[in-house]
Amino acid sequence: MTKPLNLCIAGAGTIGTALGNVLAVKENLNIQLLSVEENVVSDINDTGINTVYFPQIRLNPALKATTDPEILKNSDVVFLAIPSVAVVGYISSLVNYLNPDALLVNLAKGFGPDNDTIVENLKRIVPNPVCTLKGPTFAREMINQMPTAMTVGAEDPSVFQLLANIFESTTIHIDYTTDIAGVEILSILKNIYAITIGIVDAHFDSPNLRFMIFTRAFNEMRHILLKFGGRQETMFRYCGIGDFGLTALNDLSRNRTLGLLIGKGFFSDDISGKVVLEGRIAAGIISEKLKEMKVPESEYFMLNELNKIFSGGYNVKRFIANILNNEDKKEISQS
């Protein structure tokens, strides 16, 4: 009989709880949520409900939670389901607990310290194999057992096989690429350009215009992806067009919602500094990196226009016209 795998999901928020609940149906997996929120851990263990994040969902009885990092010592796979700004610091503080052979799976979408990707940061601080797992995944859908797709980014194909075995016979479907950088960067870019689509939809309820800008945004993402060392083919995996489409076009998306608020005029200079959504933070970082690379601004014009909004003093009503005019000029210059 095959020995059960020990899985730790670091983070008992929405995505961690949803993932754990999906996997808890499998008898060959021992799953625990590791959390710093004692009230969440108590609720899950005592009532079978995560009352903070999913107060109306009864969890699988096999799903348990703990605040004790000792479980990391026996974990074969550790899923990192905590906010992007906290992942690297969190793992740094727990290095001595980690099973050195455990696979670390990054679910967070954003930059780590020094404005490098989270996977790049993790590889510098742990000896463990590290991969990334990203895709169009709303936790609310996942926990309700709706089919969900994600992309595994890993150097070693055996990592994909391991995760494929873990997710087999569940509602989570995966594809695979060795383009780790591409998967990480696309998960960041999709948040930025979802804000743009939100701004467009706030001004015009026009499918024609929405998908014109969607197409141009996707193309601008392609230019940036290649500059960051990603591969174009990765855009057509779940982590690419799938995640961008979900985030840009669905009102459950926080970054799209930010775009809608901006477009409706609710994003004032007074509150701009308080907004900490991934897309807003990443927009400035990406822009600065492109400038350091001396990439022509025409290749990320839409991103620059968005950063002008975040800087304040920008007439949002001109946003769409500026984008359209720039693209028309590019087409003429290239013809």
**What are the pLDDT digits (tens) for 17-46?**
999 999 999 999 999 999 999 999 999 999
Residue 280: per-residue pLDDT: 80
Buried b (16+ CB within 10 A) or exposed e, 27-50: eebbbbbbbebeebbebbeeeebb
Return the percentage of the chain with pLDDT > 70, whole number. Answer: 93
Higher pLDDT, 30 or 311: 30
Residue 332: pLDDT band (50, 70, 90) is: very low
- Taking residues 296-314, report their average pLDDT: 89
Residue 174: per-residue pLDDT: 98
Tell whether the model's pLDDT for residue 330 goes beyond 70: no
**What are the pLDDT digits (tens) for 175-228?**
999 999 999 999 999 999 999 999 999 999 899 999 999 999 999 999 999 999
**How far is it, in rounded angstroms, from Cα 225 to Cα 219?**
10
**What are the pLDDT digits (tens) for 138-186?**
999 999 999 999 999 999 999 999 999 999 999 999 999 999 999 999 9
Kind plus residue range of the DSSP H or E element containing 14: helix 14-23
Residue 89: per-residue pLDDT: 96
Do 5 and 30 contact (CB within 8 A), yes or no? Answer: yes
Enumerate domains of the chain plus CATH numbers: 5-178 (3.40.50.720), 181-334 (1.10.1040.10)
- The mean pLDDT of the chain is 92
Residue 326: per-residue pLDDT: 79
Most confident of 198-202, 275-279, 313-317: 198-202
**What are the pLDDT digits (tens) for 58-77?**
999 999 999 999 999 999 99
Tell whether the model's pLDDT for residue 105 goes beyond 80: yes
DSSP string computed for 231-248: -GGGGGSIIIIIHHHHHH
Partner residues linked to 148 by β-bridges: 172
**135 residue type, one letter:** G
Q: Sign (positive/negative) of CA torsion 192, 17, 72, 153? A: negative
Residue 1: per-residue pLDDT: 47
What global pTM score does this model have?
Answer: 0.92
- Taking residues 261-281, report their average pLDDT: 67
Instruction: Please report, for the chain, how many H helices and E strands are present, in that order.
Output: 14, 8
